[in-house]
A and B are shown apart, each in its own frame.
Chain A
Amino acid sequence: MKGVFRRVAPQLFTLSAVIVLVSMFFPSFWQIVYVNDRLVGIPIDIVKRGAPVALLAIGMTLVIATRGIDLSVGAVMAICGASAAWSIDQGFGIWAALGIAGAAGLICGLWNGLLVAVFGIQPIVATLILMVAGRGVAQLITGGTILTFDNEAFAYLGSGTFLGVPVPAVIWVLTGIFFGLLVRRTALGLLVESIGVNLRASTLTGINSRVLLIAVYMGSGFCAALAGIIATADIRGADANNAGLWLELDAILAVVIGGNSLLGGRFSILASLLGAMIIQTINTGILLAGFPSEYNLVIKAVLVIIILVLQSPRLLPQFAVLWSRRRTSPQTKTLRAAMTEDRP
């Protein structure tokens, strides 16, 4: 437990810092009220709006741990959302819609996995294919329009609440716990890390790296399907052009802010999820601050650069050294004592 805390400490610190920053602009940040059977407040909005990126980040963490990358997740979201809306529109009911959307995500993942693991195509190129083509597939499913539907049960997944908590937040937390247990309570996490560090050596030691790689991409596709279902249920319609647009980049950013190396190897899903929440806190904070919209992306970029520089592997040990010196060195202590004495 202590090890986990040490691993995510930088992310927790960053998240707190961003929250403090937003609170300065918006003092009633923590004000949460209970209206109409739902909790309403800025933190609630953050965990709800952060759901798609958090879900994508879970799958992306595993893919990146294998030294891969999945650029197609945004397009897969659009495909799965479109499939779900189409099924509802056809009158198949909610369970069929969920099944079809989930299957669509798994098939997209299988396609990526086959290209990477069997045909040996570089992951960035292999998944780029679906990133570009996927939106076209989604448009074919919706017929080029925003496919709207009227189904309260399905809409519940996007805008409903469970014990006052928004359902999307419940879904990403449960998915995170599921994947976390799956990789840490079994050897799967270790095996994923090992093929990320050295694919050939792992294969030689008897790991079925091909199947594992395909499974990891399918996991990413499944997470994208959940995100697509939430996005579609949220607006009660499938918008093939805009659902999940550019979210693959936010998901990769969440993984990177989570301190995971793009070169594969050791990973932490929890840290990636915190990364996703950091990004969403920035997004929501920008909206609340009320700056002209021309500044949105600039502010976000500046904050992300600061976060990444502070977390950089070159700088982090320096901070640690500085911190321990400040705590131990006798000169600092006397200096500090002198300063406090001087105060009237």
Chain B
Amino acid sequence: MFRRTLMASVAVTMLGAVSAHAQTIGFSQIGSESGWRAAETTVTLQEAERRGIDLRFSDAQQRQENQIAAMRSFIAQGVDAILVAPVVATGWDSVLEEAAEAEIPVVLLDRMVDSSPDLYLTAVGSDLVHEGRVAGEWLVEAVNGADCRVVELQGTTGSSPAIDRKNGFEQGIAGADNIQIVRSQTGDFTRTRGKEVMESFLQAENGGADICALYAHNDDMAVGAIQAIKEAGLKPGEDILVVSIDAVPDIFLALAAGEANATVELTPNMAGPAFDALEAYFADGTLPEKFIQTESRLYTQADDPAAQYEGRKDLGY
């Protein structure tokens, strides 16, 4: 994976050297902390190539000092813009000021910083609460007024995705009195824990007969839980509806097999909207909003999950 991105970035850099008039944009990535992060890198490189942008890629290996060093080097190279996925929220003031002095616009990807919004052009990210709300609203529509007892697999206790996706889902089902969350427990965002906790839910809820739907804060836990449901002799997707968040490739296999019902995408394409905003800014100085929210698209069994899987499996998830 890493080798592929490296080769791609070398190729892109060489391309840029030939056509000197192409835009040069530096991208400081956190590192390869998760499959989603790897997919974000791949998609960013693809988007840059598609638009003919000369992308300078730098992998910070989860260290802020590497990111700051990379940004300083981008500034020294005189790039046209900088994309950065900040590893932490604090400590960015001085390097952002340096970029502002050099009149290089900075776009934050996926995560925020606590510096003054004047120091960066815009931030592109997803709204975790909104993701949960989309999942909740889907369930309200899917059960269509019937009584529904929901079990919830939370993310790591205390993490912001777990808190926000829980709140969002509760907002989504607010007002639908037929739907109630009867059990909610952490599955640590992992398949193993998702399966183990789902087993205990099934035990506690009359062998699963009393459960109408499962809401998992990420797809991996849902994949584990689907196995637990199957082993309990029930049909996931029919006996128990399954809705989760992230849209990683493996959940599309489950959707294609009819074992999951819906997933809300956390898109790895943060760079696309960022490049769009930069293009408009360079063309006529249009200032974008300070926060660009990516679309949280809902995928169901009707959205050709098999094709979605094919399109995603090589992104590095």
A45 interface contact, C-beta 8 A: yes
Which of A45, A144, A296 has a CB less than 8 Å from the CB of B203? A45
Within the assembled complex, what's the spacing in Å between the Cα atoms of A231 and B224?
12
Contact partners of B85 in chain A: CB under 8 A: none
Q: Is the CB of B192 within 8 A of A294?
A: no
The 27 listed contacts between A and B (C-beta, < 8 Å) are: A35-B207, A35-B232, A35-B233, A38-B231, A40-B207, A144-B1, A144-B32, A144-B38, A145-B1, A145-B317, A146-B250, A148-B250, A159-B227, A234-B195, A235-B192, A235-B195, A239-B190, A239-B191, A239-B220, A242-B191, A242-B193, A287-B204, A290-B183, A292-B184, A293-B185, A294-B157, A296-B157
Contacts of B158 in A (CB 8 A): 294
Q: Contact: A242 with B233, CB < 8 Å?
A: no
Contact indicator A235/B1 (Cβ below 8 Å):
no
Q: Which of A253-299 contact B (CB under 8 A)?
A: 284, 287-288, 290, 292-294, 296
On whether the beta carbons of B197 and A40 are closer than 8 Å, the reply is no
Q: Is B127 an interface residue (CB 8 A)?
A: no
Any chain B CB within 8 A of the CB of A162? no
Please pick, from A40, A49, A239, A292, the residue contacting B196 in the complex, using a CB distance under 8 A. A49
Is A340 an interface residue when CB atoms closer than 8 A count as contact?
no
The verdict on B265 contacting chain A, using a C-beta distance below 8 Å, is no
B35 interfacial contact with A, CB 8 Å:
yes
Cβ A45 vs Cβ B190 within 8 A: no
Contact of B190 among A144, A236, A242 (CB under 8 A): A242
Would you give the 0/1 interface string for A230-258, flagging 1 where the beta carbon is closer than 8 Å to chain B?
01001111010111000000000000000
Could you tell me the distance between the alpha carbons of A294 and B32 in the complex, rounded to whole angstroms? 29
* A245 nearest CB neighbor, chain B only: B190
Interface membership of chain A positions 22-49, coded 1 if the CB is closer than 8 angstroms to chain B and 0 otherwise: 0000100000010110101110010001
Which chain A residues lie closer than 8 Å to B1 at the CB level? 143-145
Is A293's CB under 8 angstroms from B186's CB? yes
Q: Is the CB of A145 within 8 A of B232?
A: no
Q: Are A36 and B233 closer than 8 Å at their CB atoms?
A: yes
Interface centre among B1, B184, B191, by most A CB within 10 Å?
B191
Per-residue A-contact encoding for B137-178, CB less than 8 Å = 1, 0 else: 000000000000000001001100000000000000000000
Chain B residues positioned under 8 Å from A41 (CB to CB): 203
Q: Which of B35, B188, B204, B223 contacts A242 (CB 8 A)?
A: B188
Contacts of A296 in B (CB 8 A): 157, 186
B200 close to A (CB within 8 Å): yes
Scan residues 122-151 of chain A and give those whose CB is less than 8 A from a CB of chain B: 143-146, 148
Chain A residues within an 8 Å CB radius of B232: 35, 40
Instruction: Answer whether residue B110 sits at the interface, using C-beta atoms and an 8 A cutoff.
Output: no
B-chain residues with CB within 8 Å of residue A148 when the two chains form the complex = 250
B94 to chain A, nearest CB (A): 33
The answer to the question of B125 belonging to the interface, with a C-beta cut-off of 8 Å to chain A, is no
User: For the complex, what is the distance from the CA of A298 to the CA of B275, rounded to whole Å?
Assistant: 47
Task: Please measure, in the bound complex, the distance between the C-alpha atom of A248 and the C-alpha atom of B15, giving whole angstroms.
Answer: 50
Given known A-B contacts A145-B35, A235-B224, A26 and B199 have beta carbons under 8 A apart: no
- Distance to closest chain B CB from A151 (angstroms): 14
A290 surroundings in chain B (CB, below 8 A) = 183, 185, 204
Determine the chain A residues whose CB is within 8 A of the CB of B191 once the complex forms: 146, 235, 237, 239, 242
- How many A-B contacts are there with CB distance less than 8 Å? 81
> Chain B residues near A146 (CB, 8 Å)?
35, 191, 220, 250
Contact of A293 among B184, B190, B200, B204 (CB under 8 A): B184
**Complex: A287 Cα to B198 Cα, angstroms:** 9
Contacts of A159 in B (CB 8 A): 227, 231
Q: Closest CB of chain B to A80's CB: distance in Å?
A: 15
A37 CB to closest chain B CB, in angstroms?
Answer: 10
Do the beta carbons of B192 and A239 come within 8 Å of each other?
yes
Which residues, 191 to 232 on B, are CB-close (under 8 Å) to A? Answer: 191-193, 195-197, 199-201, 203-204, 207, 220, 223-224, 227, 231-232
Residues of B close to A42: CB separation below 8 A: 203
Contact partners of A145 in chain B: CB under 8 A: 1, 35, 38, 316-317
Collect the chain B residues with CB atoms within 8 Å of residue A40's CB.
203, 207, 232
CB-defined contacts of A231 to chain B, threshold 8 Å: 192
Chain B minimum-CB-distance residue to A232 = B192
From residue A227, how far is it (CB to closest CB) to chain B in Å? Answer: 12
One of A36, A242, A287 near B192 (C-beta < 8 A): A242
Which residue of chain A has the shortest Cβ distance to B201 in the bound complex?
Answer: A287
Task: State the Cβ distance, B131 to closest chain A Cβ, in Å.
Answer: 20
User: Distance (Å) between the CB of B45 and the closest chain A CB?
Assistant: 17
A38 to B233, CA, bound (A): 10
Known: A241-B190, A292-B184. 9 other contacts (CB 8 A): A41-B203, A45-B199, A148-B250, A234-B192, A236-B227, A239-B190, A290-B185, A294-B157, A296-B186
Looking across the interface, which residue of chain B has its beta carbon closest to that of A235? B191
- Smallest CB–CB gap between A43 and chain B, Å? 10
Minimum distance in angstroms from A300 CB to a CB of chain B: 13
Chain B's nearest CB lies how many Å from the CB of A36? 4
CB distance from B235 to the nearest CB of A (A): 12
Q: How far is the CA of A344 from the CA of B10 in the complex (A)?
A: 92
Tell me, rounded to whole Å, the shortest Cβ–Cβ distance linking A223 to chain B: 18
> Mask for B97-139, Cβ within 8 A of A = 1, else 0?
0000000000000000000000000000000000000000000
Docked Cα-Cα span, A40 to B197, in Å, equals 15
Residues of A within 8 Å of B231, CB to CB, are 38, 159
CB distance from A244 to the nearest CB of B (A): 9
Q: Are B192 and A293 in contact (CB under 8 A)?
A: no
- Please indicate the chain A residues that have their CB under 8 angstroms from the CB of B186 in the complex: 293, 296
Alpha-carbon distance between A231 and B2 when the two chains are bound, in angstroms:
27
